[in-house]
Structure formats: structure tokens, C-alpha cells
Amino acid sequence: MTEMTAHVRVENLRKTYQTRQDEIEAIHEVKMDVAEGEFISILGPSGCGKSTLLMIVGGLLPLTSGTVSVGGEDVSKPRRDTGVVFQAPVLMPWRTILKNVLFPIESLGLREEDYIDRAYELLEMTGLSNFAQNVPSELSGGMQQRVAICRALIHNPNLLLMDEPFSALDAMTRDLMNQELLRIWEEYKKTVLFVTHSIREAVFLSDRVFVMSPRPAVISEIVTIDLPRPRELAIEETPEFNQYVAHLRGLIEH
């Protein structure tokens, strides 16, 4: 990959947490180059440093050493061109769905009126347009997570960071959300960094899967998923899909 095309570049990244008792090395050394519009999954066991890596790329956590850049600029604080989705949707319970989606506009100091059409477009795309005036407690967990995705996309960031966004959902809802996410990605062509510990989810979604070792993390393997797009759930029944799953499982078990 050339200097010109890397959208996200991580070099010699190290992260050590200081606790009162001692130091915890979360990331030993990570290097990654991600191209504009790529869908990347970061796969690894629990506690290996996936969230740490994503928070550093999102400018939400300082690094210990190394460099992280987005769009050629060093990341040191949250960036406007980055949207983040966490495992829990963390919506504001007293605000309507529409107002939750518009929240980043308010915190960025932009004019809300300019973004209302876009908010409705995103709600429409995620099947929530009839719920704009509801409050979060009136929506299911899967619907709330869709609101969180709309909220992450409202200011049109070109990089989307997702940290196990569907892991709290039941298996069927999760399948639906994965399909929905791919639809959104095909339509808007964002660069996505998607953290998961589900091998099948990573294979279904990704152009490439970065496999992280147990803590302290390094990227131990990069697997290119050469499956046709657009992808439907039926692809999970194909031998090719299951070969990727078996290959990744083998890598993780070693």
C-alpha cells in the first residue's frame, strides 16, 4: 500500500496502562495500514487490547509510543471525521430518537437545522423513520444500536470505529444488523474498523481481518477475505466462507 492511499496508519504503536500497583502492557507493537473505504475487522480474544487500539485510533486514549494517523494527520484528540459506536448504545433516555441522532451536531456546535434531513435519511435507511419522536426505552436493543449507528454517521465522518457493537444482541438480531451494516457501508463507502471476537462476523463483514495475539497485543496475521460482494447471509453456508472461518480459528488457537 502506498503512502497516498492509507487512510488509517498505525506504526510501532505501544500502549502501557499505569495502575497504582504496576504497569500493564496492553499493546506491545501494532502496525497497520488501512485504505480509504476498506472494511477491516480486528479479531482477538477478550482482554487482548482491541478496545485499547480502537480508542487510540479514535483519539479517545493517549498512546505510549508510536504514531497513529488518520487522513495523514496525527491523532491526538477526537476528530470530526471519525464516528464511534460502542458495545452499548448509550442513548440519552430523555431525548427523542431524532434528538439522540442529532446530538453530535449539537456538541460540534453545528446548526441542527442543516442536519435534520440527513437524520431522517439515516433513520429511514435503518428502518427507524417511524420512531423519530419516540424515546429510547420504547425501542428494542437492536433498534437502539441502530440509533447509535445513525448518531455516529450524522456528521458524515469518513471513518467509522465500531467496538463489538452487536455483541449484546441475540444471534438473529445480530445477523440482521450485520446485513444492515454492510448495506450502509456499500451505500456510503466509509472506512470501517470493526472490533469483534466473533470469527464468523469478521469473515462475513470484512475485506481484511487483522488477528491480534493475546495481550500484550501484536497483529499476528492479516487475512484477506476474498468473497464476492454484496454478501447475503446465505454466504455463510458456502465452503469458501467456512474455510476462512476454520483458517482464522486455527490462527487464534495458536
- For 44-115, list the strands marked E by DSSP: 65-70, 73-74, 82-85
State in angstroms the smallest separation of the CB of 46 from Mg ion.
7
Q: Is 165 in the site for ligand ADP (CB under 6 A)?
A: no
State in angstroms the smallest separation of the CB of 161 from ligand ADP.
12
- Measured between alpha carbons, how far is 145 from 130 in angstroms, rounded to an integer? 16
DSSP letter at 248? Answer: H
* DSSP letter string, 199-252: HHHHHHH-SEEEEEPSSSEEEEEEEE----SS--GGGGGSHHHHHHHHHHHHHH
Amino acid (1-letter code) at residue 62: P
User: Is residue 94 a contact partner of residue 135, using CB atoms and an 8 Å limit?
Assistant: yes
Q: At what angle do helices 116-125 and 141-153 cross, to 10 degrees?
A: 140
Q: Which stretch binds ligand ADP (CB under 6 A): 50-58, 63-71, 110-118, 166-174?
A: 50-58
Question: Pairing between strand 82-85 and 159-163?
Answer: parallel
Residues that bind Mg ion (CB under 5 A): 51
Count of residues interacting with ligand ADP (CB under 6 A): 13
State in angstroms the smallest separation of the CB of 211 from ligand ADP.
12
Cell numbers placing 127: 428502518
Residues in the chain: 254
User: Looking at beta carbons only, is 88 or 116 nearer to ligand ADP?
Assistant: 88
User: Looking at beta carbons only, is 51 or 82 nearer to Mg ion?
Assistant: 51
Longest alpha-carbon distance in the chain: 53
Residues 77-116 binding ligand ADP (CB under 6 A) are none
User: Looking at beta carbons only, is 57 or 102 nearer to ligand ADP?
Assistant: 57
Residues 9-38 binding ligand ADP (CB under 6 A) are 17, 19, 24, 26
Helix (H, G, I), strand (E, B) or coil at 30: strand
Q: Is 2 in the site for ligand ADP (CB under 6 A)?
A: no
Q: Which stretch binds ligand ADP (CB under 6 A): 1-9, 42-50, 114-122, 154-162?
A: 42-50
Residue with C-alpha cell 472506512?
191
Sign of the C-alpha dihedral computed for residues 165, 248, 39 and 17 taken in this order: positive
Q: Which stretch binds ligand ADP (CB under 6 A): 40-48, 108-116, 121-129, 178-186?
A: 40-48
Q: Is 137 in the site for ligand ADP (CB under 6 A)?
A: no
From the list Mg ion, ligand ADP, none, which binds 46 (C-beta under 5 to 8 Å, kind-based)?
A: ligand ADP
Could you list the residues that contact ligand ADP (CB under 6 A)? 17, 19, 24, 26, 44, 46-52, 215
